Structure 1
Amino acid sequence: MIDYKKFFSEEELIKLTQELVRIPSHKDAENREKEVAEYIYKFSKENGLEVEYQEVDGLRKNVIVNLKGEGTGKTLMFNGHMDTVPPYNMIIHPYGGEVKDGFIWGRGTSDMKGPIASMLIAMLAIKRSHKSMKGNIIFTGVLGEEEQSEGTEALVKSNIKADGAIVGEPSNYEYAIGHRGLEWIEIKVKGKAAHGGVPHLGINAISKTAKLILRIEERLMPKLAERDNEYMGPSVMNFGRIEGGSQPSTVADWCSIKIDRRYIPGESVDSVFKELEDIVLELKEEDREFDAEIIRMDNNFLTLDHLYLMTDPEDPIVIATKNALIQVIGEKPNLTRRRGWTDAALLSNFGNIPTVVTGPGDISYSHTKDERIPIKHLIDYVEIYCRIAEEFCQIQ
């Protein structure tokens, strides 16, 4: 068994994480992920790795790093998104990258610049080991995952090839082979305005929407509660936003609800919408004044549906991941069954690449006011990623 810790230092891993965190790359930052991609490109070049850009959206580019073996084995992809959510109301310096109490602190440490650092250092450790490798390793630093996943969508549309992939979302030493599909849906209910003193002359869209919500809760929610998948949990729906009307003294002539819908195998985009359409049709038949339109929110995706992830539990990438985790943490890892949507679903469904989600950090720290990542996680995951590659790409 190769001792990969001999081929990288804790200091270079921490420094790489810090430098990535110190570069803002959220949707409101100038040029968004451009400078992070340039840093990864420069870092890879300086360390003797083959690297190239993939154009996606003007100045915004994916960065692809290659570590080639003999070419007679499997190709492993490491995938990590370079963007973060904005700093919002953080109570620490979002771009400080401070080391304190065994953590690195700042926006993106956990989600997911820390995981990117562990992936890149793992590739360097393998390269420095000078061991023979039958397969190849590709790192894909992608943009836009926190928005429309433009980066990974461009990746799969380019017909990139790999036999297995790891998406490094923070996992706390667990791994996921399945997660639910995601749809954002808006339902607009139309009414008729009238003065508040004569409300009978109008049609109150807020009242009609209340009936719609109750009907969904009575008819659809119980059905969802009965649907469950072993690898991703139950089918669920959430009313995330409601707004409508103009002022207290006017009958509301419009109301909108926005829904987050997470679906599982046995369901589809079409079935998700049909179940809501059936309820709207039922209300229209009962009430001639009820008028509603169902809209698929296009800010949830670019062109590819955000389908669920389901990787065969016996696929070689799953076995290699599980074995690597056991070797490093000394016990059987937990299988995460309720994680959020990730780019793994695009790689799996549209790239035909069996994919597992596992990475350093804890998802409970992601997007928070004091985001951080344990340094121990970063170190351990360098070894975990090396051992996944050792088995999957046949390193000897």
Structure 2
Amino acid sequence: MPDAWQRVRAVLQEQEEEAVRFLQELVQADTQVVGHGIAGGKEAAGQELIRARLERLGAAPDVFEPEAARLKRYGLGNEGHNYAGRPNVVVRFPGAGGGRSLILNGHVDTMPPGDLAAWPHAPWSGTIAGGRLHGLGAADMKAGLAGLLLAAVAVERAGVRLKGDLILESVVDEEGGGNGTLACLDRGYRADGALVAEPTHLEVQPAHMGFIFYAVRVQGKPLHSSRKWAGVSAIEKAMKLIRALDELEHRWLLTRRHLFLPGPSINVGEIHGGEAGSTVAGWCEFKLCLHYLPGGPDAGRRTEAEVLAALRDCAQGDPWLREHPPLVTKYQEGSPFEVPVDHPLVQAASQAVTAEEGTPARITGMPAGCDARYFTSLAGIPCVILGPGEPEQAHSVGESVALAEYLEFIRIAARFILTWCGVAE
């Protein structure tokens, strides 16, 4: 291991400028999802860069589009997405045998940039300034994806033969719910452990929250505003339901704790209703996203039951809503994930960070969700989240990543690969 690491480290030092250029090219590729991934996505430009880099190494990547019909049978939501021209790119580096296998997973897609005029640097510029590379997806998570690829490439270039297989997955549609990673599992890719390189600021994260999205539609009785008292405002009834959800959130915060994760939350992030100020609102729809803590395989079902009960109880206490109950539709969800902090995978990741930084690794949790959940919940593969970039950079105007942290992550990932997979003598 010491000799292998020195050889890999020498390659990493030689390819630092190349690593920065590659990340810059990846950020300059527009890979945004369209309509939250439902209408499609532009990931092909980034995936072509990944594919070409792997083929120059002599690898033969598996390039395939997710099949929506196949993924539907898992019953995990996120249905009806268009995957035409949105391929995953996966490559396997076979090991010599006798070691543990590892999946390195990252997503190439980004959310849309929003208001282009608000960006201090153009979102696809890849501008380098102040020691940071600027652009959409720089932190979430092109630095992590590029870092995983370059760590794997360095191991190959150094002539180090691993004992265990190493699998690199560059996936699409994570922002749309994670069907790219689901498609990789459906295709049969498995390993003894997985690393998802979402931006954690190099913190080791063995857990993340679960999440559920709902749309709630409320019916009212529209009349001219001069006859307001004879009508029923759907907006006012929706506000009553939202207050019931606020009360549920408060109860959760008083009773639910996790060592590495924040308290659960219910966020109403969108609301529409009515036709005009002169008309009592005949309809109102609000959308919410809730985050909940790990708590066993039925944590999601228990959480959903509590939300639906809160809405139902509120409706039962209101004469109008009792007769005209709200229509509640779940349109996206993801389970939480958790791996014990003393698991060998978490320990190996922590050791790699400690060896590179010289101080004990920071172990935290991800307050949102990501593709890590699929490995643990569907395939029983232990997983850890670890990557470069501050989490608050994700989905932000002016997104950027510190280049020093990006290069450090490549070294950490390479150490982790050698430790987990083992080096053949």
Q: TM range, normalised to the smaller chain?
A: over 0.9
**Change beyond 3 A, Cα 1:93–1:284:** closer
**Does structure 2 retain, via aligned residues, the 8 Å contact 1:119–1:385?**
yes
1:18 aligned to which of 6, 24, 35: 24
- Structure 1 residues 66, 259: CA separation in 2 closer, same or farther (over 3 Å shift)? same
1:46 paired with 2:56, answer yes
Shift of 1:338: 4.2
SS at match of 1:203: coil
Alignment partner of 1:60 is 2:97: no
Instruction: Tell me which residue corresponds to 2:33.
Output: 27
Instruction: Give the SS at the match of 2:375.
Output: helix
**Structure 2 counterparts to residues 283-302 of structure 1, below 5 A:** 283-290=314-321, 291-298=324-331, 300=332
Q: Is the 8 A contact 1:78 1:165 kept in 2?
A: yes
Displacement of 1:134 in angstroms is 0.8
Please, which of 310, 315, 331 is the counterpart of residue 338 of structure 2? Answer: 310
1:164 matched to 2:211: no
CA separation of 1:389 and 1:378: change in aligned 2, threshold 3 A? same
2:266 is aligned to: 237
- SS of equivalent to 1:83: coil
Identify unmatched segments of 5+ residues in structure 2: 67-82
User: 2: distance between equivalents of 1:245 and 1:155?
Assistant: 44
Equivalent AA in structure 1 for residue 364 of structure 2:
T
> For 1:93 and 1:284, how far apart are their aligned partners in 2?
48
Residue 332 (structure 1) shift: 1.0
Identity of aligned residues (%): 28
Task: Decide whether the 8 Å contact of 1:112 with 1:170 is kept in 2.
Answer: yes
**1:27 aligned partner, one-letter code:** V
Q: 1:259-278 to 2 correspondence within 5 Å?
A: 259-266=288-295, 268-278=299-309
Using the alignment, how far apart are the partners of 2:318 and 2:209 within structure 1? Answer: 35
1:333 match: 361
Rate the CA distance shift 1:382–1:216 in 2: closer, same or farther, 3 A.
Answer: closer
Q: Any conservation in 2 of the 1:185–1:294 contact (CA below 8 Å)?
A: no
Q: Offset of 1:104 from its aligned partner?
A: 1.4
Q: Deviations over 1:34-65 (max 9, x none)?
A: 12112111111112234221221232110002
Q: Is the 8 A contact 2:209 2:369 kept in 1?
A: yes
Correspondence for 1:391: 419
Within the candidate set 240, 243, 266, 1:211 is matched to 240
Offset of residue 28 of structure 1? 4.1
DSSP-derived class of the 2:123 partner: coil
Counterpart for residue 71 of structure 2: none
- Larger deviation: 371-380 or 332-341? 332-341
Per-residue deviation, 1:294: 4.4
1:219 CA drift (Å): 4.7
Q: 1:40 to 1:285 in 2, by over 3 A?
A: closer
Q: Give the direction of change, closer, same or farther, for the CA distance of 1:328–1:220 in structure 2 (3 Å limit).
A: closer
TM-score (norm. length: structure 1): 0.93
Gaps of 5+ in 1: none
CA distance, structure 2, for counterparts of residue 386 and residue 43 of structure 1: 18
1:6 alignment counterpart: 10
Residue 339 of structure 1 aligns to a residue whose secondary structure is coil
Measured after TM superposition, the shift of residue 31 of structure 1 is: 5.5
Name the stretch that deviates more: 200-209 or 116-125: 200-209
3-state SS in 2 of match to 1:289: helix
**How many residue pairs are counted as aligned between the two chains?**
391
Q: Deviations over 1:337-365 (max 9, x none)?
A: 34321111112211221111011111222
Q: Secondary structure at the match of 2:303?
A: helix
Q: Is the 8 Å Cα contact of residues 91 and 169 (structure 2) preserved in structure 1? A: yes
Do the aligned partners of residues 51 and 173 (structure 1) sit closer, same or farther apart at CA in structure 2, a change above 3 Å counting?
same
The 3-state SS of whatever aligns with 1:161 is coil
Matching residue's letter, 1:272: T
Q: Do 2:245 and 2:311's aligned partners in 1 also have CA atoms closer than 8 Å?
A: no
Q: Residue type of the partner of 2:349?
A: T
Secondary structure, counterpart of 1:233 in structure 2 = coil
Aligned ranges for residues 347-362 of structure 1 at < 5 Å?
347-362=375-390
Instruction: State the alpha-carbon separation in 2 of the partners of residues 124 and 280 from structure 1.
Output: 52
Distance 1:31 1:279 in 2: 36
Amino acid at match of 2:379: G
Structure 1 residue 220, shift from structure 2 partner = 4.7
Tell me by how many angstroms 1:171 deviates. 1.3
TM-score by length of 2: 0.87
1:188–1:292 CA contact under 8 A, matched in 2? no
Matching residue's letter, 1:147: G
Aligned with 1:101 (options 130, 147, 152): 130
Q: Equivalents in 2 of 1:123, 1:144: separation in Å?
A: 23
Aligned amino acid, residue 289 of structure 1: W
State which drifts further: 210-219 or 11-20: 210-219
By how many angstroms is 1:284 displaced? 3.4
Query: How far, CA to CA, are the matches of 1:362 and 1:213 in structure 2?
Result: 32
Change (3 A) 1:279 1:109: closer
Amino acid at match of 1:93: A
**What is the CA deviation profile of residues 60-114 of structure 1, one whole-angstrom value per residue up to 9, with x for unaligned ones?**
1100022222032111111000101122232212122122221111111111111
2:175 and 2:250 map into 1 onto residues whose CA distance is 28
Query: Match for residue 202 of structure 2?
Result: 173
